Chain A
């Protein structure tokens, strides 16, 4: 376990060293994050200029959601996306072999070996917005229990989005060209910008049972506001566990297909 943390640190370190060598990239990435956040907050403000509450969600609550979305998005862009692209490339060119020959769990390596540290800028910006939202009203009445519930739900949400990604990546074992599928996952993920309650019922259901984005951003913020009961939290955690398990099994299946281990 300690070795795995050490490895992640080395991956981040390498990315930092590599990216920081280019000042242009630094400036561009920070600029993009800032402009993106301004745009996103602006979008929420425009929407709320015509209503003070949407399906029970106030402006500050939606801003908190946006903050969490930005954090998740940042993690996605730092670890998940670059590795997904790298993995598809590895399968295509046969360089996956090197990953398999390392004495480390291949799924772990494929998940983290490549990281683009700029995504962390989105994490910071998102955290800032979240804190701001809490400070400007939403934070009243938030107790320790709520914060713990939030942490748990957010962890579950991260696990869910990770499992979705691993499952998508595994498809590369069979079809190889998956860049298009990442577009779809991204598009669904974008729906996490707003509380899932604003969507019509059928879409809400799709985002809960089909592609569980609801658990990634909506549930944790609800927990923070003390609005989700233990039932939802339990479901979130169980779902996260189930999806992690399923995606790992799918990965092993893909791997055995790659090494023609089937009889």
Chain B
């Protein structure tokens, strides 16, 4: 199975290299919106900071956010959704490997290549904005683990939404709704710690924080040990829930797809 994964990965790499410009542009999409909020918060923070956060801390937060955003983002609505709508999935279903594996490889491949554009961009922004880091090695390590889980979580959810294309034509609308929640509750418009009480409590319970914000919080060292453990625990729970979700949707979806003739 790993051999197949590797083959798809290499394949994807080759096809993406053909579209270098595409790469550059898609990575911009991971960078520019957080840049808006980075600017807003650093302006608000000014010299004195706000709510206990200094200007430099906001910069560090958002720069890490950009990287995590790229590494965890789901593109499945564009790839899988499209495949289902124009019937390409049929061919994939006949291969002795689950189409999800291919989608996952595609996802990873895209991010792996995008990194080459993203890192220089973030470094450049760091030089311009001058971030302040205050974190520990264990937290960074936990951040890495959390990023992986978050990426998987977003993949599974994104894949499930894309699978809705089996039944409806506007799965993209559902994805958009998902993205809006991510915007508000996953630490993009403001670090979750700065959200008003009601929203903050909602954010701690809903899956969105665990898709994007938690790794960033860990990397920037804003969580103490117990908060980190709790966060990771809830993240794993959401991952398990997402796994069951995608399995259920897949089974029903494929049944429906084959019933209507694919």
Seen from chain A, the residues whose Cβ lies within 8 Å of a Cβ on chain B are 24-25, 28-29, 31-32, 35-36, 39, 42-43, 46-47, 49-51, 54-55, 177, 180-181, 183-184, 187-188, 190-191, 193-194, 198-200, 202-203
- Report yes or no: B43 in contact with A198, Cβ–Cβ below 8 A: yes
Q: Report the minimal beta-carbon distance from A166 to chain B, rounded to whole angstroms.
A: 19
Q: Report the minimal beta-carbon distance from B50 to chain A, rounded to whole angstroms.
A: 5
B165 interfacial contact with A, CB 8 Å? no
Residues on B with beta carbons closer than 8 Å to the beta carbon of A42 = 184, 189, 199
- Report yes or no: B180 in contact with A35, Cβ–Cβ below 8 A: yes
Seen from chain B, the residues whose Cβ lies within 8 Å of a Cβ on chain A are 19, 21-22, 25-26, 28-29, 32-33, 35-36, 39-44, 50-51, 128-129, 168-170, 173, 176-177, 180-181, 183-184, 189-190, 194-196, 199
Q: Is the interface of B mostly helix, strand, loop or mixed?
A: helix
- Report yes or no: A180 in contact with B25, Cβ–Cβ below 8 A: yes
Q: Report the minimal beta-carbon distance from A50 to chain B, rounded to whole angstroms.
A: 5
The 6 tightest CB contacts between A and B, nearest first, are: A187-B32, A180-B25, A43-B189, A199-B39, A39-B180, A28-B173
Q: Is the interface of A mostly helix, strand, loop or mixed?
A: helix
Contacts known (A191-B32, A193-B36); A32 close to B25, Cβ less than 8 A: no
Residues on A with beta carbons closer than 8 Å to the beta carbon of B177 = 31-32, 35
Instruction: Identify the closest chain A residue to B30 (Cβ).
Output: A187
- Report yes or no: A190 in contact with B189, Cβ–Cβ below 8 A: no
- Distance A24 CA – B28 CA, assembled complex (angstroms): 33
- Distance A55 CA – B41 CA, assembled complex (angstroms): 12
Residues on A with beta carbons closer than 8 Å to the beta carbon of B169 = 24
Q: Which of these, B25, B40, B184, B195, contacts A54 with CB under 8 Å?
A: B40
Please give 18 more A-B residue pairs, beta carbons under 8 A apart, in addition to A43-B189, A177-B22.
A39-B181, A39-B184, A42-B184, A46-B189, A46-B196, A47-B41, A50-B50, A54-B43, A54-B44, A183-B26, A183-B28, A187-B28, A187-B32, A191-B36, A193-B36, A198-B39, A199-B39, A200-B128
Residues on A with beta carbons closer than 8 Å to the beta carbon of B195 = 46
- Report yes or no: B180 in contact with A46, Cβ–Cβ below 8 A: no
Residues on B with beta carbons closer than 8 Å to the beta carbon of A180 = 19, 21-22, 25-26
> What are 23 A-B pairs with beta-carbon distances under 8 A?
A24-B170, A29-B173, A36-B180, A39-B183, A39-B184, A46-B189, A46-B195, A49-B196, A50-B194, A51-B44, A180-B19, A180-B21, A180-B22, A181-B25, A183-B28, A187-B32, A188-B32, A191-B36, A193-B36, A198-B43, A199-B39, A202-B128, A203-B39
